[in-house]
Amino acid sequence: MSALLSVEGLGISFGGLRAVHDVSFAVKPGEILSVIGPNGAGKTTLFNMISGVYRPGAGRVMLNGEDVTAMRPDLLARRGMSRTFQNLQIFQNMTVLENAIAGFHLTESGSLMADLLRLPASRARARTAREGAMRLLERVGLERAAETDAGNLSYGRLKRLEIARALALDPKVLLLDEPAAGCNAVETEEIDHMIAEVAASGVAILLVEHDMKMVMRISSHIVVLDHGEKIAEGDPATVSRDPKVIAAYLGAEAGEETDA
Amino acid sequence: MSELLQFLFSGLTVGAVYALVALGFTIIYNASDVVNFAQGEFVMLGGMLTVFTYAAGLPLPLAALIAVLVTAGVGVALNKLAIEPARGAPVVSLIIITIGASIFLRGGAQVLFGKQIHRFPSFSGDTPFRIGGATILPQSLWVFAGGIAIFIGLYLFFTRTLTGKAVLATSNNRLAAQLVGINTNWVMTLSFALSAGIGALAGVLITPITNTSYDVGIALALKGFAAAMLGGMGNPKGALAGGLLLGVIEAMTAGYLSSQYKDAAAFIVILLVLFIMPQGLFGAKQTERV
């Protein structure tokens, strides 16, 4: 099967700092590709370029055979790309349920007049979105918090709300930036299962995560970044044995010891 | 008693106009955090364009409609030509851009329409109604009706329609709105069109009472701003309440104190709000998430 999302020679500099340089990889439908690397390796910057938040200085992003480099996030959403943020992008003034419903924005669109007059078609669409949102909240275990203001949720629960909203878009490609951050072991495992499930349904998943156990367990493919460059790539077993990877994580000396 | 009622009527009439200007501020502020100081010029354009299309022989309702639509177009142009290219600039810079736009529009109007005072006739005559010893002009009732209609229309737009909700979502978190597929540029354009159109309609409604000239916008923008601050910037209900309240305060000041102090009322209100309750009557308390 051909790649759904591919990144070719992507790079960006901030002032003199080369944050990401010449990174390429591809994700197929149903695959989970994890991007790992030490703090400051450029993982989130890479995500921001792919999802249109930053304009790349070099390279291009291809989605489903179309060049989508530096395209606005709302246009990417229309083309089936959805993402979550490490530092959360939640509608703080809305309830949990309203946040999830917002994810159905694109499927809910109808005529202005029908909405104003509350015609049956418009009500039916609103009901579908509400039911869909409720199902997603159940899936991430937030159904009982549905009427709570999103601003009052803990970080871990907001992460799950953001995942629910991203899934509401019914994406073809899903970018998850540290989905398990701030979650306890049980919650992490739940998110684990959920991601595997979503991938199994044919979605290409791109994951940034610090929980190595999780990454090793669910990834089909891993890309390792260090100082903005790709230093290794392959399946979990290969990558975890790669001396360059071990060196990047533990420092050069430890890497040499493992070599010996 | 009849005197008080009289002041109340005139206060509510002018207050309804302040409320509409404040609503215009609110819409743009919510969509972009920008306080649009060209809001008063939209009111001026509404009245002025009606004067000239009416003088050109068009029936008054059609003239008014054209004025509202053209002004909405000016609002869109302001966003596209001046605000959007500066996207990413600090809010203060954007506000200064709107002050520049206001000066530009005022200058343009002066060249185009001259410096005289202009007017067109009331919608339904000038025979005042008598209520409880006080009189009220039919045009004042038009102003109230227009204000109420716009307020209800906006309420339905924001609570019922998907587009309205998209505007609210954008004001809440622009990036999150983009993530769910909302075109936030379109939301901005729409907000400017809406806000300019509402300003223009206020101008159309009030001109038969107050007349208009190229420079009426400055005072209206200031009063509308005071009203929006009083009600709580960003809150439509606050804009309505703040506008009406400010109108009444002004009328009472003019009636019981001296009409010379009328304009001071707005400034004193701004100062008091800033000193005592910066969030305004209906404004949300600012809390930072840590």
Report pLDDT digits (tens) over A130-172.
999 999 999 888 888 888 999 888 888 888 899 999 999 999 9
Looking at residue B161, what DSSP letter applies?
A: -
Per residue in B189-232, pLDDT tens? 999 999 999 999 999 999 999 999 999 999 999 999 999 999 98
* Of residues B15, B22, B39, the one with CA closest to residue B228: B22
The CA distance from B191 to A91, in Å, is: 19
Inter-chain CB proximity A74 and B157 less than 8 Å: no
The CA distance from B142 to A135, in Å, is: 49
Does the pTM surpass 0.95? The reply is no
Q: What percentage of chain B exceeds 70 in pLDDT? A: 97
Identity (one letter) of the amino acid at A179?
P
Cβ distance A110 to A97 under 8 Å?
no
pLDDT value at B287 more than 70: no
A90 contact residues in B (CB cutoff 8 A): 173, 176
Q: Assign B285 a pLDDT band (cuts: 50, 70, 90).
A: low
The CA distance from B170 to B164, in Å, is: 10
Asked if B176 reaches chain A (Cβ–Cβ under 8 Å), the answer is: yes
Asked if B276 reaches chain A (Cβ–Cβ under 8 Å), the answer is: no
Element (H, E) at B198: helix B184-210
Asked if A182 reaches chain B (Cβ–Cβ under 8 Å), the answer is: no
- Give the per-residue pLDDT at A258: 45
- Give the per-residue pLDDT at A255: 43
| Among chain B residues, CA nearest to A105 | B180
Q: Assign B284 a pLDDT band (cuts: 50, 70, 90).
A: low
Average pLDDT over residues B46-61: 94
Helix (H, G, I), strand (E, B) or coil at A175: strand
Q: Which of A83, A89, A105 shows the shortest C-beta gap to B182?
A: A105
* Average pLDDT over chain B, rounded to an integer: 90
pLDDT value at B22 more than 90: yes
Asked if A115 reaches chain B (Cβ–Cβ under 8 Å), the answer is: yes
A168 contact residues in B (CB cutoff 8 A): 180
What would the 3-class secondary structure string for B32-84 be?
HCCCCCCHHHHHHHHHHHHHHHHHCCCCHHHHHHHHHHHHHHHHHHHHHHHHH
* Average pLDDT over chain A, rounded to an integer: 86
- Give the per-residue pLDDT at B264: 87
**How many C-alpha atoms does A114 have within 13 Å on its Cβ side?**
13
Strand A5-14: give its sheet, edge to edge. Answer: A17-27, A5-14, A58-63, A66-67
- Give the per-residue pLDDT at A252: 55
- Those residues of chain A that have pLDDT short of 70 are 1, 110, 251-260
Looking at the predicted complex, does its ipTM rise above 0.95? no
Average pLDDT over residues B130-149: 90
Chain B contact probe: residue of A54, A71, A74, A94 with most B CBs at under 10 A: A74
Average pLDDT over residues B241-258: 92
The full set of domains in chain A, from first to last, is 1-80+171-260 (3.40.50.300), 92-168 (no CATH)
Q: Assign B290 a pLDDT band (cuts: 50, 70, 90).
A: very low
* Of residues B43, B235, B244, the one with CA closest to residue B140: B244
Maximum average pLDDT range among A90-99, B62-71, B232-241: B62-71
